[in-house]
Amino acid sequence: MRTDDFWAVISRATADRPASPADVAKRAAADLATRDPEEIVAWGRHLDKVMVASGTQDLWAAAYLINGGCSEDGFDSFRGWLIAHGRDAVARSVKSPDSLADVAVVRQAAETGAVFEAEEVLSIAAEAYAQATGEDLPAEERPVTRPEAADLWDFDDEEEMQRRLPKLSALFLAPPD
């Protein structure tokens, strides 16, 4: 599957600005369910590629700041939330995780404590396959899509966080006394 074809599914699912990433996931799964099972599997493989490309330490650190902590599954769900916002949102945040500080809902989250996760986006291919065939998505070897938690730099090191993610740190870290 080509990258453009993968993102076209997400674009159609977000065409009229649905209320939530869960709605994006439902729409994308319904769209994919109309296709051949092989194409659904290929879409799922491409999702894995997006997850690998977005599995950076600094993006994980950004999710950690924004969501007030971030486990391995939480990082995956955060990236699901990003994917639900489309190709540009993912590309921008992978290139510069600190650019998330420019997103209105992220700025608001500094005040409200909102958490950004969309696990259902990660299940679009499985849901579509089940709708199309009545069966589970065939099991395949999945790539590693994020660094090992033990290999991460210390996200609780505020000086390092401020150095790597200055705009997000200004929003989410308490000013020094």
- The pLDDT of residue 176 is above 80: no
- Cβ-based neighbours of 35, under 8 Å, separated by 6 or more: 128, 132
pTM of the model: 0.94
Do the Cβ atoms of 168 and 66 come closer than 8 Å? yes
- Which pLDDT tens digit goes with each residue over 78-105? 999 999 999 999 999 999 999 999 999 9
Q: How far is CA 133 from CA 23, 26, 37, 91, 125, in A?
A: 22, 16, 7, 32, 12
Amino acid at 1: M
- Which pLDDT tens digit goes with each residue over 102-153? 999 999 999 999 999 999 999 999 999 999 999 999 988 888 899 998 889 9
Do the Cβ atoms of 128 and 47 come closer than 8 Å? no
Residue (of 85, 86, 59) closest to 4 by Cα position: 86
